[in-house]
């Protein structure tokens, strides 16, 4: 069914369900502002255990129509199967990470089809896109944003959101990159860690979206004193060379130098251990916190 069903037509606020395919119903809110203006899409729960993102989206659904211009479409929980199974990253329907398969495939598995629907239906006609995330069950992080390196307007949104770091990305398969391929400025916001939800981390995402709405001309800009300008960077990620026990030796926000040991991987019966060294110098944006690690899994992201 279309993202904005007939039931939503002409109403300042509509809340209900949209159906990317039979049997899959996703909660959605559409709010039309006091006057026409930009159309902004917000998604949350692409990773079902990133609860900060879902709670921030839920609160944004309460925005008064007369408090902004334009139109706001909020998909609160994209990966709804993962939410109720408390699954980190992956869609239980096919075991895929939804935010690695964009722009998707209408003939693929469940995650491929969901990503295709998000691109072809949800993003269609939008003037900007914000994807909300928050450190999953096995991730610790400091708040940061990611934008497509090819998108100058995406960079503007990342700088406007107010998070401390804005990382340019050239990676494929992510939601914001698929939006950029359509010419839609897009940014991903991260706040929260280890599947925990705090007032501070939720508020950072909520405020970040409002700051982006101000940048888009949908809201008045805040009169509060501006904080430090976000640091533009790229994020370099170290991957696990082997599976085993992971013992991290740094933390988000800490500065590391190239060659510094940031953790150790040990085999399950104590026959060997492999140090993991920082390949770059800079602050840690996030790190894996779980004891278990798979070969090729992301261990640590450094801002450079």
CATH 2.40.50.100 residue ranges of the chain are 233-303
pTM: 0.95
Look at residue 129 and tell me whether its pLDDT is greater than 70. yes
Rounded-to-integer distance, Cα 233 and Cα 34, Å? 37
In this prediction, residue 10 has a pLDDT band, given cuts at 50, 70 and 90, of: confident
pLDDT at 246: 98
pLDDT, position 142: 97
* Choice among 1-15, 86-100, 105-119, 149-163 with the minimum mean pLDDT: 1-15
Model confidence band, residue 222 (pLDDT cutoffs 50, 70, 90): confident
Structure confidence at residue 1 (pLDDT): 39
Say what the pLDDT of residue 6 is: 58
Residue 103, preceding bond cis, omega within 30 degrees?
yes
Let me know: does 76 contact 16? Beta carbons within 8 Å.
no
In angstroms, the CA 13 to CA 29 distance is 7
Domain 233-303 bears CATH identifier 2.102.10.10 = no
**How, if at all, do strands 24-32 and 292-293 pair?**
unpaired
Question: Mean per-residue pLDDT for 116-139?
Answer: 97
CA distance 304 to 153: 21
- Please answer whether residues 238 and 87 qualify as being in contact, where contact means their C-beta atoms are separated by less than 8 angstroms: no
**Nearest CA-CA partner of 53 in 251, 197, 161, 176:** 197
Residue 149 CB-density burial (10 A; 0-12 exposed, 13-18 middle, 19+ buried): middle
Residue pair 167/286 in contact by the 8 Å Cβ criterion: no
Residue length, the chain? 304
What's the distance, CA 289 to chain centroid?
Answer: 19
Give the torsion sign (CA, 142, 146, 149, 154): negative
d(CA 281, CA 285): 12
Q: Residue 229 has what pLDDT? A: 84
Q: Determine the pLDDT at residue 5.
A: 56
pLDDT at res. 221? 84
pLDDT of residue 223: 66
CB contact at 8 A, 133 and 139: no
Any idea which of 95-99, 144-148, 224-228, 256-260 has the lowest mean pLDDT? 224-228
Question: For 26-79, how does the pLDDT look when each residue is reduced to its tens digit (9 = 90+)?
Answer: 999 999 999 999 999 999 999 999 999 999 999 999 999 999 999 999 999 999
Q: CATH number of the domain at 6-215, please?
A: 3.40.630.10
Phi, psi of 159 (to 5 degrees): -70, -35
The pLDDT of residue 2: 46
Across the range 135-150, mean pLDDT stands at: 96
Tell me the DSSP string of 35-84.
S---EEEEE--SSTT-HHHHHHHHHHTT--GGGSSSEEEEES-SSHHHHH
pLDDT at residue 228, rounded to an integer: 79
Portions of the chain given CATH number 3.40.630.10? 6-215
- The one-character DSSP state at 246 is E
Task: Give the span between the Cα atoms of 140 and 125, in whole angstroms.
Answer: 35
Tokens read off for 65: 């129509």
Q: Are 161 and 155 in contact (CB under 8 A)?
A: no
Q: What is the mean pLDDT of residues 168-194?
A: 97
* Spatial contact of 273 and 261, defined as CB atoms under 8 Å apart: no
Mean pLDDT, the chain, integer: 95
Q: Is residue 193 predicted with pLDDT exceeding 50?
A: yes
What was the pLDDT predicted at 4?
A: 56
């Amino acid at each position: 069914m279309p993202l904005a069903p007939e039931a939503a037509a002409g109403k300042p606020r509509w809340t209900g369900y949209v159906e990317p395919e039979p049997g899959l119903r996703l909660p959605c809110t559409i709010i039309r502002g006091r006057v026409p203006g930009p159309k902004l899409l917000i998604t949350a729960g692409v990773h079902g255990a990133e609860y900060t993102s879902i709670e921030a989206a839920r609160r944004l659904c309460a925005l008064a129509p007369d408090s902004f211009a334009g139109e706001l479409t909020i998909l609160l929980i994209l990966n709804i199967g993962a939410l109720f199974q408390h699954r980190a990253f992956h869609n239980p329907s096919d075991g895929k990470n939804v935010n690695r398969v964009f722009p998707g495939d209408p003939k693929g598995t469940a995650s491929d089809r969901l990503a295709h629907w998000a691109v072809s239906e949800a993003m269609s006609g939008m003037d900007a896109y914000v994807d909300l995330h928050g450190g999953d069950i096995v991730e610790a992080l400091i708040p940061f944003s990611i934008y497509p390196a090819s998108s100058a307007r995406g960079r503007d949104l990342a700088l406007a959101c107010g998070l401390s770091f804005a990382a340019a990305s050239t990676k494929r398969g992510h939601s914001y990159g698929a939006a950029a391929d359509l010419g839609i400025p897009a940014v991903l916001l991260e706040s929260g860690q280890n599947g925990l939800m705090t007032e501070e981390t939720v508020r950072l995402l909520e405020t970040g979206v409002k700051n982006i709405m101000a940048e888009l001309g949908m809201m008045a800009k805040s009169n509060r004193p501006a904080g430090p300008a976000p640091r533009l960077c790229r994020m370099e990620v170290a991957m696990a060379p082997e599976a085993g026990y992971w013992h991290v030796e740094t933390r988000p926000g800490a500065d590391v130098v190239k060659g510094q040991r940031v953790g150790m991987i040990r085999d399950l019966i104590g026959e060997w251990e492999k140090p993991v060294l920082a390949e770059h110098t800079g602050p840690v944006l996030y790190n894996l916190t779980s004891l278990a690690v798979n070969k090729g899994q992301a261990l640590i992201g450094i801002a450079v």
